[in-house]
Structure 1
Amino acid sequence: MSSVTNDTPQLLLAHHLKSLRLLTFLREYDKVAKQCASEGVDHTRYLLRLTELELIDRERRMVERRIKGAKFPTIKSLDSFDFKAMPSLNKMQLMELARCDFISRQENIIAVGNSGTGKSHIAIGLGLAACQKGLSVGFITASALVHELLEARDEKRLLRLQKQLAKYSLLIIDELGYVPLSPTGAELLFEVFSQRYERGSTIVTSNLPFDEWTSTFGSERLTGALLDRLTHHVHILEMNGDSFRLKQSAQSKET
């Protein structure tokens, strides 16, 4: 009977901490109590240690949720990018952009260059940095986005999708220009850019220089209006050079 009585406070504490969703607190309180007792730490500092652990773990879980919600195709940080292989890329400029102040200013980034030069890597790295800063991020290829927009239009849920896309602090649209768009698809994609103009930041990667974007959108008028909005507040990353993928393929054949 005494054993049950002695266990009751621990059971109640565990129940209350779960209800409050203080899961790190629940996992660590006994271990930290023993550490503090051996170090002669008072109860205030004991609680401080526990709350710090809870906050650190909660922030980690929130970052993980933001990264998962962004739907990156792979996880690549800027630290793993080979800047020596891409001398045309301004590393100082990129490190400044990684602070994510451009997002609070609703500025855009366009990474332009040959296929395989790491544009997606840079976009994902900046997206990860934004997730770590507590910002909402979405990642999608241009062709997949147009497909989703067309599907949403046919299913009478286009407005809901447009609102969702407009809510992201940072929207990354990868591989613009790889596939020509239908007139309807081009107009729907233009609407996405227009709705985010001076309201949210967008990163676009493209293998085409600006003067060839008409081949993707099929209309000089639409392309001009798009570039007018997209480049009003923009940071351009020029990434022309040899393809990383071709280099890696050649190296693997040599070995």
Structure 2
Amino acid sequence: MSDVPQVLLVHHLKALKLPTFLREHDKLARQCAAEGVDHPTYLLRLAELELLDRERRMVERRIRQARFPAVKSLDSFDFTALPSLNKMLVLELARGEYVERRENVIALGNSGTGKTHVALGLGLAACQKGVAVGFTTAAALVHELLEARDERRLLRLHRQLAGYRLLIIDELGYVPLSTTGAELLFEVFSRRYERGSVLVTSNLPFDEWTSVFGSERLTGALLDRLTHHVHILEMNGESYRLRVSRRRQGKAEAPTNAS
């Protein structure tokens, strides 16, 4: 009979979904007993452990649901390599207040300057602050929209996209869109106008976006909505990948030059 309370405790903690309580209660009880800690303090410590672990699991779940191609933080971004980028603005955006205000972010610059890294870093920061984030490329999103339209589940997809308080659309401008694809993507932006934040990265300046959407009217309407409440990150500079490649090539050639 002496095992009954322990068995019931394990059962109840599982039913209440308190895995940290279940894992830590015995060890913490012995520790608190050795320290002469009273019961309220013991329960407080146990509750704090559960809350911290629950928040960690929630952040991990939001990161998985965001479908990031890689998890990158702003801590690993080399701001010194890109003088054109406003570091203070990026760090301010990492606080996430723009999401609360339903404002947008657009990162513009040539290929290889770290636009995707910054987008991933801001997306990760948003996840850590409890924001539901979705990540996709413009080409992948258009493909998904076209597929959903053909399968008569476009409204369901729009509801899914609306569930993201921050929607990150990477690589806009790398692939020209069909007329239907451009219209479907425009509808995504239009539905989010003043309802949810969008973070867009593009290798094209605004005056070249018509080449992607194929219509000056559609492009103008899109930019009107997208730039109404916007933070623009200028990210023009030398390609990071090209710079690394040159550095590696230089190291490889160094022994030959030395000889």
With normalisation by structure 1, the TM-score equals: 0.98
Kindly indicate whether residue 7 of structure 2 is the aligned counterpart of residue 7 of structure 1: no
Kindly indicate whether residue 57 of structure 2 is the aligned counterpart of residue 57 of structure 1: no
Which residue is equivalent to 2:41? Answer: 45
Per-residue CA shift, 1:121-150, capped at 9, x if unaligned?
Answer: 000100001100001000000000000000
**Aligned counterpart for 2:29 among listed residues 33, 51, 56:** 33
1:1-255 counterparts in 2 under 5 A?
5-255=1-251
- Structure 1 residue 62, shift from structure 2 partner: 0.3
Q: Distance in 2 between matches of 1:167 and 1:227?
A: 23
- Structure 1 residue 45, shift from structure 2 partner: 0.3
Q: Distance in 2 between matches of 1:224 and 1:187?
A: 13
- Which AA in structure 1 matches 2:37? V
- Structure 1 residue 158, shift from structure 2 partner: 0.4
- Which AA in structure 1 matches 2:139? S
Q: Distance in 2 between matches of 1:56 and 1:221?
A: 50
Which residue is equivalent to 2:257? Answer: none
Q: Distance in 2 between matches of 1:86 and 1:251?
A: 17
**How large is the Cα RMSD of the aligned pairs?**
0.5
Q: Distance in 2 between matches of 1:187 and 1:230?
A: 15
SS of structure 1 residue aligned to 2:3: helix
Q: Which runs of 5+ in 2 are unaligned?
A: 252-259
Q: Distance in 1 between matches of 2:163 and 2:15?
A: 31
Aligned residues: 251
- Which AA in structure 2 matches 1:207? N
- Structure 1 residue 230, shift from structure 2 partner: 0.1
- Which AA in structure 2 matches 1:138? G
- Which AA in structure 2 matches 1:151? E
- Structure 1 residue 7, shift from structure 2 partner: 1.3
Q: Distance in 1 between matches of 2:117 and 2:87?
A: 14
Identity %, equivalent residues: 76
- Structure 1 residue 249, shift from structure 2 partner: 1.2
Q: Distance in 1 between matches of 2:163 and 2:10?
A: 37
SS of structure 2 residue aligned to 1:202: strand
Q: Distance in 1 between matches of 2:86 and 2:234?
A: 8
- Structure 1 residue 163, shift from structure 2 partner: 1.3
SS of structure 1 residue aligned to 2:186: helix
- Structure 1 residue 8, shift from structure 2 partner: 1.3
Q: Distance in 2 between matches of 1:75 and 1:46?
A: 36
